[in-house]
Structure 1
């Protein structure tokens, strides 16, 4: 039997994406998100309008979408409550965010130069997609979110994931990190406690992270 409930979160399960963009001073920003879906060679991204990633993407017109495997969940979680914007809103302060100018270093990731865009690749991610901005539109009436369309102009894939002799990824070898209701999943199982879920007071079914 179904029951009517007021759903607080609509993250039914989507891949985690690490978006790298260029800051105004030439450094790189790195942000985790999971509001992304692909069709053809284009991807739709939903981002907070006030975020550093949104500002960078609008200004630079390019980014890299880095797709982490489930085994990188610890490094991804370290980025969860970090922001590249020095001026924190009261909302972010209340949630426990802190300013971090070196997101790559904080997560333990390695930045590599891309081929066609100025934003860097995350070396540890098995899939890296260099993208150019196609469009940006307001997602809601309050202008709290922006919907971006980006076009993939070059894909880098770990050769261990490629079906030999083809241009295809072997889905049995690719184990993406999935965010489901703000919790981390891989290969169908929950793989790591989530700082984001704790900050947003979402009930967790695994032990909470030690203080």
Structure 2
């Protein structure tokens, strides 16, 4: 038997995306966003309300980065989701984050978060809060690469958001092989 909960914004996993931008003076800002994902090979979609300082910044600069929240930086990632950049101008620094200029877009990479998607703004609808970014580059610190030079999710220690319990969950345990294990059922 199933229990019905009605219309809720619940899916698993929900990413913990840390959106980073520069303001008009070049000061970095960051916010936490869980509603987003990839829908084309070169696009990321996010649901971000227009009142966020980071949204104002990316509308001005037309660029942003999306870092994966990690277990090691959980408190800082949560902090940038709790505190508004409109009220705390040094939110980025108070989180303990350090900005590294992206080589590809006019937005900061966060030194403490080892993986980021670097994007240019394609569109934003303030009524629906729907943002679409063009992926220009994905960068990863060498510390999270495996022996073949690929991103190792176990080393990344990404976290996801549990919207039902307002909790963060760790990601990383391998449980199968994509595009392979299901072939057993094809017989």
TM range (shorter): 0.7 to 0.9
Root-mean-square deviation (CA), in Å? 2.2
TM-score by length of 1: 0.72
Aligned residue number for residue 174 of structure 1: 156
Structure 1 CA distance for aligned equivalents of residues 139 and 89 of structure 2: 26
Q: 1:28 to 1:172 in 2, by over 3 A?
A: closer
Q: 1:11 to 1:108 in 2, by over 3 A?
A: farther
Deviation at 1:134, TM superposition (A): 1.4
Deviation at 1:19, TM superposition (A): 0.8
Structure 1 residue ranges, 4+ long, deviating more than 4 angstroms after superposition:
none
Deviation at 1:136, TM superposition (A): 1.8
2:185 is equivalent to residue 184 of structure 1: no
Q: Deviations over 1:180-211 (max 9, x none)?
A: 113211148xxxxxxxxxxxxxxxxxxxxxxx
Deviation at 1:79, TM superposition (A): 2.0
Q: Which runs of 5+ in 1 are unaligned?
A: 86-98, 189-211
Aligned residue number for residue 181 of structure 2: none
Deviation at 1:75, TM superposition (A): 1.5
2:99–2:110 CA contact under 8 A, matched in 1: yes
2:13 is equivalent to residue 31 of structure 1: no
Deviation at 1:118, TM superposition (A): 2.3
Question: How many residue pairs were aligned?
Answer: 170
